[in-house]
Amino acid sequence: MMLQIPGVLTPDEAAAMRAALRAADWVDGNVTAGRQSALAKQNRQLPEDSATAREQGGRVLDALGRAPLFVAAALPSKIYPPLFHLYGVGETFGDHIDNAIRFRAGSEFRLRSDLSATLFLNDPDEYDGGELIAEGSPPVKLPAGDLILYPATTVHRVTPVTRGERIASFFWIQSMIRDGAARALLLDLDRSVQELGARAGQDDPAIVRLTGVYHNLLRRWAEL
């Protein structure tokens, strides 16, 4: 299942990030590709250790912490430091599946990639092509500042850009809840509790009990 999370960045935040990224030095996107992905990947990427990548990646992480839907849907245990890529005319990323384990070069940081995320940084009318397509889901091309979250187990691709440039951040999440079906149940329960609480009041006894069910299931299933 793909989940759109709107407004992770405001339009002004997305514009400032684009400006910083366009002034940076880009390298071949295959620096983070696995063996199979490298055969399909044609784009550019910021080096992970560049000052711009670290600074803007920190801004993305701050924004994610302020996005309740992201937190509720991903239940993140670890987030890979956000990366940034750029697709110009003719650049694409063919069918691939993300590596199960991601390592950060030069450190002991590693995670299991349960979820993949793309944060769009420029608006759809600025480029043609560049849609994210995951098997079984319609093409995705979102406004600047919106994020798409989807299982890292999904075969997916980015269609060739035919006009302009597509700029985005991408990263992976290790969830506290490894099982995707359990994670989806918790999200449905959380959203239902929030909606019912808005009608009846958070102190309603039934809402209190349902909140307890949510946390007891989270406690039962969570891996920290």
* Annotated domain spans of the chain: 3-175, 180-221
The helix/strand/coil state of 162 is strand
Span 209-223, pLDDT tens digits? 999 999 999 999 999
Spans in the chain with pLDDT lower than 50: none
Residues 98-110 pLDDT 10s: 999 999 988 999 9
Span 21-48, pLDDT tens digits? 999 999 987 765 555 555 678 999 999 9
Classify domain 3-175 by CATH number.
Answer: 2.60.120.620
Percent of residues, the chain, with pLDDT higher than 70: 96
Are residues 168 and 84 in contact, defined by beta-carbon separation less than 8 angstroms? yes
Helix (H, G, I), strand (E, B) or coil at 22: helix
Who contacts 106 (Cβ-Cβ below 8 Å, separation ≥6)? 49
- C-alpha count within 13 angstroms, C-beta hemisphere, residue 163: 6
Cα within 13 Å of Cα(214), Cβ side: 18
Q: What is the pLDDT of residue 195?
A: 95
Task: Calculate the alpha carbon distances from 59 to 9, 13, 39, 63, 127 in Å.
Answer: 9, 9, 31, 6, 24
Which one-letter DSSP state was computed for residue 97?
Answer: -
